[in-house]
Amino acid sequence: MRESHEQPIMGEPRRAELVTPGETGVTFIGHSSFFLQIGGKNLLVDPVFVNRLVVLRRQRRPGLRVEEMPPIDAVLITHAHMDHLNITSLRRIVRSTRRLRGRGPEIVVPHGVDDLVSQLGFRRVTTLKWWQQAKIAGLHITMTPCRHWGARMFKDTHRHYGGYVVQSGHQSIYHSGDTAYFDGFAEIGRRLAPGIALMPIGAYFPDTYRSVHTSPEEAVRGFLEVGARWMIPMHFGTFRLGREPMDEPLQRLRAEAARLHIADRVKILEEGETLCSAPAAGPRHS
């Protein structure tokens, strides 16, 4: 807590870049929060726009402002931890989309998490367990396994957790959620073949944290086993959740990608930066 307040918050928000319906857009908001554009739809995953989580303060500002974003079709929540499910941010998203479109977005949550979001104004709440699928806003969404835990408080261990693969035609994005390395990455790749993988690289020290979080090297291994074309790192640089230096995860990620000769497949985005790609084309940054 003390360390999270030692330095001023860095970074400035940008305006979201909008892509064409034939393109996939992945915008890094910060931590594990992303704005996804796929199949002509707008999604948010684990959106956290507040500066403080109880006692922890952000180190870098969110890359986008809710009020400057287009209307959101759906929100995906990977688990109920407060750095992934933020009630204040979800209310702001509902208000903004209602103002622009006249109705709120849909929301997808793991089984047992629906009570936390059912009164926030979402048009529909869908709950999923591992490998279950739903059609949301015209997109195919599958909840994927991971190795983590889902309780929001100490005793509500009934809450589930997971990642997601979002598919529209030949476009597909995998958000792993929080996870340790486990043998399920290869199965996710075999079943769903995502093109872009959003992988967590921070909060791995002390070593006991690796029971629920991947190190940068483990995240790269998981990415390769998933078989995606590109990896975008997440879960670093925003909140002081582990004891490793704040700049170490990216340093180790770059070193591992260079060692394995895959640096061109690892796309590190700044907050507010967008990776745009078409199914038959390479990525471009903006």
Domain ranges of the chain: 3-268
pLDDT higher than threshold 80 for residue 286: no
Which residue's structure tokens are 């109880």?
54
pLDDT average, residue stretch 218-232 = 98
The values of phi and psi at residue 100, to 5°, are -85, -30
All residues at 6 or more sequence positions from 102 whose CB lies less than 8 Å from its CB, including other chains? none
Predicted pLDDT of residue 4:
53
Predicted pLDDT of residue 54:
79
Residue type, 200: P
How many angstroms separate the CA atoms of 237 and 52, rounded? 14
pLDDT higher than threshold 90 for residue 280: no
Residue 144 contacts residue 163 (beta carbons within 8 Å): yes
- Cis previous bond, 194, omega within 30: no
Task: Note the residue count of the chain.
Answer: 286
pLDDT higher than threshold 60 for residue 50: yes
- Cis previous bond, 249, omega within 30: no
How many angstroms separate the CA atoms of 275 and 179, rounded? 23
The string of pLDDT tens digits covering residues 68-105 is 999 999 999 999 999 999 999 999 999 999 999 999 99
Closest CA to 149 of 203, 213, 89, 85: 213
Predicted pLDDT of residue 267:
98
pLDDT higher than threshold 70 for residue 124: yes
For 11-49, give one letter per residue: b (16+ CB within 10 A) or e. bebbebbebeeebbbbbbbbbbbbbbbbbbbbbbbbbbb
**CATH 3.60.15.10 for the 3-268 domain, yes or no:** yes
The band of 156, judged by pLDDT with boundaries at 50, 70 and 90, is confident
Q: Is 92 helix (H, G, I), strand (E, B) or coil?
A: helix
The string of pLDDT tens digits covering residues 126-150 is 999 999 999 999 999 999 999 998 9
pLDDT higher than threshold 60 for residue 244: yes
